[in-house]
Amino acid sequence: MNYTSTRNKSLSVTSAEAIKTGLAPDGGLFVPNEIPQMTQEEIGALASMSYTDRAVKILEQFLTDFTGAELSECAHNAYNKIKFETDEIAPLYKLKDNTYFLELWHGPTCAFKDMALQILPHLLKKSVLKTGETKEVVILVATSGDTGKAALEGFKDVDGTRIIVFYPENGVSSIQKRQMITQEGNNVDVAAVMGNFDDAQSGVKQIFNDKEYAQVLERNNFMLSSANSINWGRLVPQIVYYFSAYCNLCKNDEIKLGEPVNFVVPTGNFGNILAAYYAKEMGLPIHKLICASNENNILTDFIRTGVYDKNRPFKTTSSPSMDILISSNLERFLYQATGCDDVRVATWMKELAETGRYEVPDVTKAKIKEIFYGGFCDDAETLATISAVSKETGYVMDTHTAVAKCVYKQYKEETGDATKTVIVSTASPFKFTDNVLTAIAGKEAAEGLDDFELLDALAEKSGLTIPASLAGLTNKPIIFSTTCDKTEMYDVVSHMLNLS
Ligand SMILES: *Cc1c(COP(=O)(O)O)cnc(C)c1O
């Protein structure tokens, strides 16, 4: 199977090439030139396998230039009990009849980014070798918090790779900062940038686009690459857990093989829900995909009206990982939904860049509505949902998951659909302690506490154990204390790589 660009169908590259380069040369995203099909029998056979073996079976369908042994090695390095604290890797929690949570946050950084970033480094390393590349890969990341830490944990000590993360000095929470500056590993570097996330991001982009600097890197046998969420190597591992959740439902006799289920996905960049869409297209029995947004509800509007319009204020919410106005991965869905109309997709993306808006035709609108339901909720509803579910059932969830739960309630009230439904849970409640504690114990309970006191207080009120990776942070030595201004970011890179 080869890969093409959403903006130019005549392009054709291997999956290794797509993973190595990340973005197509025309600015489009890499997509498979066909969607592999899984029969009911094949899905049934996955049910008796471990998560890791299920992952190998799904990855094999898409990464056909990798051998089974290579994929098995990647999957075992990524998904194991040491890293995920549970053999199940992505366990399902039954809330009540017909409603389940798929917990994707048992990895090392307690958020669902680990599901992809634990395996991407291994896939990337093999892709580099397969394409005959001899240079060492240097991953540069500018982060507003979660991605940086997940990428560091994924790439640490992976041979043939280095990773350098820049975070804004005053733009991350103290837990997030502590997670990064205590990072272990022999190939990692972390630096604070004076300024905000935009400063860090534009600095990284400048280094990426600097042709002269690329030559210096090349002379020293290095090449730059990126670990951001449009890389196909981050998307394909996310398809796995939709199959895995379905298999667990079958295995636990919650559903019969072939019975359709719904998935509710808290959505920002449209990566997670797009993986669910691919699973559906591959033959996984999915009835509706419910796309849940916070007050940045651009996707709700798009699903309901067919108009994508980012000319609106950006809102800062209690589910920050979904505060986004350009959902990059939507481009891949548009390509599939238009029957691979690369010209049309390229035109819409041009309109989006120039005017901030595009509108799809009626046939596409109908197609979108057939597959998706879109809804959103505000911060007050998010906290009320955490509080209500905790009171009724004792289950405590994070703010992003709560957005999904709230939108599912709207969906059920509006449609009466009684199909069994899996709500995708994307972060541990301990990552967003302040809001979660406020929701379950009142504002007074959280007031005046620092981040570490909040962890203890939430553990006490919820009866849950603090994830080991967060609990251990207070005692970890600080390894990185570099602060630079935007112009000094080059020096940080050159120094780490010992460039001549
Ligand atoms: C990144 C993230 C999301 C959004 O996922 P997308 O793939 O960008 O739609 C939701 N919740 C959490 C906790 C995240 O970190």
pLDDT in tens, 416-466: 999 999 999 999 999 999 999 999 999 999 999 988 899 999 999 999 999
pLDDT over 80 (residue 198): no
Q: In the numeric block, which tokens belong to residue 75?
A: 């999957």
* Helix, strand, coil fractions of the chain, as percent rounded to 5: 50, 15, 35
Measured from the Cα of 272, ligand 1's closest atom is 7
* Mean per-residue pLDDT, 246-269: 97
Q: In the numeric block, which tokens belong to residue 163?
A: 């990773």
374: closest CA among 440, 473, 299? 299
pTM of the prediction? 0.94
Cβ of 149 below 6 Å from ligand 1: no
Cβ of 400 below 6 Å from ligand 1: yes
* Mean per-residue pLDDT, 61-89: 96
* Mean per-residue pLDDT, 124-145: 90
Q: DSSP code of 375? A: E
pLDDT over 90 (residue 320): no
Task: Name the helix (H) or strand (E) containing 499.
Answer: none
pLDDT over 80 (residue 475): yes
178: closest CA among 465, 492, 478, 430? 478
Indicate which residue of 20, 57, 113, 431 is catalytic: 113
For the chain, the structural domain boundaries read: 1-112+231-482
Cβ of 144 below 6 Å from ligand 1: no
Give 1-112+231-482's CATH code, choosing from 3.40.1180.10, 3.40.50.1100, 2.60.120.20, 3.20.20.10. Answer: 3.40.50.1100
Measured from the Cα of 427, ligand 1's closest atom is 13
Q: Which of 322, 333, 430 to mutate to test the pocket of ligand 1 (most atoms within 8 A of CB)?
A: 322
Q: Which of 141, 228, 321, 407 to mutate to test the pocket of ligand 1 (most atoms within 8 A of CB)?
A: 321
Q: Please confirm, yes or no, whether 365 is among the known catalytic residues.
A: no
Q: Facing residues of 137 across strands?
A: 161, 223
112 alpha carbon – ligand 1 mean position (Å): 7
Measured from the Cα of 401, ligand 1's closest atom is 11
What is the model's pLDDT at position 500?
77
266 alpha carbon – ligand 1 mean position (Å): 7
Cβ of 294 below 6 Å from ligand 1: no
Query: Across all residues in the chain, what is the average pLDDT?
Result: 95
